[in-house]
Structure 1
């Protein structure tokens, strides 16, 4: 077992609040393996973009983090993806929402990096249903995740990055931002998606 929580923990919270924060969600060994994997592929991180495919662009006034999309090149990545697949199956069985797949990337925030307030669902496409964030280290300062109340400027919750904490929330419902990092911050950002295909063409990831 690589997880330390039951499905009731996140199902009840999501149904009631639309989000959940699970501390110590994964065993320490897996979290350590994932951060080690981050360091392994460190030279291959690239500046994160905004949008997708032909609409992808780099805008440092909106976000400055660096990312590396999972490529299945380590056992740690495969194990994490298997955990997310299990969660996807549980969500579908209990909430009847037809999740199709899961995509994720490592995210690295160095001093001064941020991601301004935004919604994860792409404009005109509602394929991203739930956003997940797993923290891989515990910075002393900075890099907090701020989740806002739906359709409001009021803050719902501020989450301090803590290794092993898993956050999950409805992608279209909650605007959120990452405050400027002071210490280096590593996490995995991911999305459970529906297939928003058009004319039989499978909606691509990212």
Structure 2
């Protein structure tokens, strides 16, 4: 995991003019707990990330699982996608992490969320792959506070499927469907919104990330090094 700190910010033209977008995201989260912004990620960053993800050798991806560290386990009943963590070792990866840092700083300033670090990975869903309804953080176990998803799919059509369905409560059966169009940003409070990814009919590419708070104590370091 890559822990983002304010000192990691650099001026590279991908942000610095994003306060308007960040303000819209912050307002959405304050008013309804989630934000859906289409064609919002800077195009140059979208293109760089798309090129990087599709250039990653398949051996670098691993089957996604449930849980982390000693509790990690693969569960094909729940999810069948594959992931590759973003560490900032490439220019595109570092630009993405810098952009996320800028958003983190803005949201902390505007909403006082206390976001401390960030982790994210590329996600690839092959045709028919899915991620069944789940939450990113359980209530009372505050680590992941805010989830963010960015889509990298050009020319995506409605009949391709693969929508993210964001449920507004545990009892919501309909949800809000988000087509995974290139450049779309979705952010939501991790504890509050169950969600799922419906099967797609073509390869589906995205980035999933989580802003975390610091829950370290004398017995553990969180986030883990």
| TM-score bucket of the superposed structures, by smaller chain | over 0.9
**How many Å separate the matches in 1 of 2:29 and 2:105?**
15
Deviation at 1:195, TM superposition (A): 1.1
- Could you tell which deviates more after superposition, 171-180 or 131-140? 131-140
Deviation at 1:196, TM superposition (A): 1.6
Deviation at 1:205, TM superposition (A): 4.9
**How many Å separate the matches in 1 of 2:65 and 2:143?**
18
- Report what 1:172 is aligned to: 191
State the TM-score, normalizing by the size of structure 1: 0.94
**How many Å separate the matches in 1 of 2:44 and 2:91?**
12
Choose from 95, 101, 116 the match for 1:85: 101
**How many Å separate the matches in 2 of 1:153 and 1:96?**
28
**How many Å separate the matches in 2 of 1:145 and 1:86?**
25
Aligned length: 206
Q: What is the DSSP-based 3-state SS (H/G/I as helix, E as strand, rest coil) of the residue aligned with 2:175?
A: strand
- Give RMSD over aligned pairs: 1.8
Preserved CA contact (<8 Å) 1:149 1:155: no
Deviation at 1:127, TM superposition (A): 0.3
Deviation at 1:150, TM superposition (A): 1.8
Deviation at 1:122, TM superposition (A): 5.2
Choose from 77, 80, 87 the match for 1:64: 80
Preserved CA contact (<8 Å) 2:153 2:204: yes
Q: What is the DSSP-based 3-state SS (H/G/I as helix, E as strand, rest coil) of the residue aligned with 2:206?
A: strand
- Report what 1:19 is aligned to: 34
Preserved CA contact (<8 Å) 1:133 1:187: yes
Deviation at 1:80, TM superposition (A): 0.7
Deviation at 1:24, TM superposition (A): 1.5
- Could you tell which deviates more after superposition, 2-11 or 152-161? 2-11
Deviation at 1:197, TM superposition (A): 1.5
1:80-159 aligned at under 5 Å gives the runs: 80-121=96-137, 125-138=141-154, 139-140=156-157, 141-159=160-178
**How many Å separate the matches in 2 of 1:204 and 1:169?**
20
**How many Å separate the matches in 2 of 1:11 and 1:123?**
21
Preserved CA contact (<8 Å) 2:130 2:200: yes
- Could you tell which deviates more after superposition, 133-142 or 156-165? 133-142
- Report what 2:8 is aligned to: none
- Could you tell which deviates more after superposition, 65-74 or 184-193? 65-74
**How many Å separate the matches in 1 of 2:122 and 2:50?**
9
Q: What is the DSSP-based 3-state SS (H/G/I as helix, E as strand, rest coil) of the residue aligned with 1:155?
A: coil
Preserved CA contact (<8 Å) 1:14 1:20: yes
- Aligned structure 1 segments of 4 or more residues deviating by more than 4 angstroms: none
